[in-house]
Amino acid sequence: VPGDISMTAALTVDLVVLTVRGDSLSVLAVRRGVTPYKGRWALPGGFVLADEELLDAAERELYEETGVSVDAHLEQLATYGSPHRDPRGRVVSVAYLALLPNLPSPKAGTDAAEAHWRDALELLEKDRGLAFDHAQILQDGIERARSKLEYTSLAAAFCNEEFTIAELRHVYETVWGVSLDPRNFHRKVSGTEGFVEPTGRTTTRDGGRPAQLFRRGGASLLHPAMLRPGRGCLLR
């Protein structure tokens, strides 16, 4: 390691794991059992191993907390390295954003740390603060997810292998916190080539007329974009 005035830091990955459960955007949170911030909610995460890639560390933590190994979207969010963000010393955290379908078994392969689904917005507002700077990280993760729904096909990462258009719409409505016209949404999604592919099968799990089932299409960037409604001509 090079010398001079350099400095070393401990290196962690923290995860913002989002899913849609019922009508709420949920995030995976753990209750801290040790100081500092004992008893407070925190994002799951842990130290990067000596010879480990950052992304591998994130995947490992995700697996340890949820049992999920594939089928999840995982991307680097941002890095947080304020000198005193951790009272124990200089700890730099590389945050990752994961988007998951609503899992049948919420925390299958859980080890000691007990992970819980919490309403993401509620966790931000109440509970007078998450541990460390995790409120900021969560806020950034939510905003990233919201904006990526606009111009990518990432919303499908919140759905199961097979899903209906209505379920996909429910993802948008929940993440954005808005209502969308079902008819326009249907026309838009089915008209955007590569967004979804019909499987030929149908389901009646939502009642009413059977709905076609779709899987994710090949496109990752949407054109034209699926714009969030209710924004004026410009924003800050």
Q: Catalytic site residues?
A: 114
Pick out residues in 57-76 that bind a second copy (CB under 8 A): 76
8 Å CB contact between 124 and 136 = no
> Which residue intervals of 133-195 are DSSP H helices?
134-151, 165-176, 182-191
Query: Does residue 233 touch a second copy according to CB under 8 A?
Result: yes
Nearest to 145 by CA among 137, 136, 154: 154
Name the minimum Å distance from CB 183 to a second copy.
Answer: 21
| Beta bridge mates, 216 | 196
Nearest to 135 by CA among 121, 114, 116, 117: 121
132 binds, options DNA, a second copy, none, Cβ within 5 to 8 A by partner type:
none
Mapped onto helix, strand or coil, the DSSP state of residue 29 is strand
Pick out residues in 185-204 that bind a second copy (CB under 8 A): 192-195
Of 82 and 199, nearer to DNA (C-beta) is 199
Q: Tokens 């950052």 — which residue?
A: 54
Pick out residues in 164-193 that bind DNA (CB under 7 A): 164-166, 181-184, 186-188, 190
- Binding-site member from 33, 36, 83, 229 for DNA (CB under 7 A): 229
Name the minimum Å distance from CB 31 to a second copy.
Answer: 18
Backbone angles phi, psi at 168, to 5 degrees: -65, -40
- Binding-site member from 54, 103, 113, 180 for a second copy (CB under 8 A): 54
Backbone angles phi, psi at 157, to 5 degrees: -65, -20
Nearest to 100 by CA among 158, 184, 42, 152: 158
Name the minimum Å distance from CB 135 to a second copy.
Answer: 18
226 binds, options DNA, a second copy, none, Cβ within 5 to 8 A by partner type:
DNA
Q: Which residues bind a second copy (CB under 8 A)?
A: 1-2, 4-11, 47-54, 76, 78-79, 81-83, 88-92, 94, 192-195, 219-223, 225, 231-236
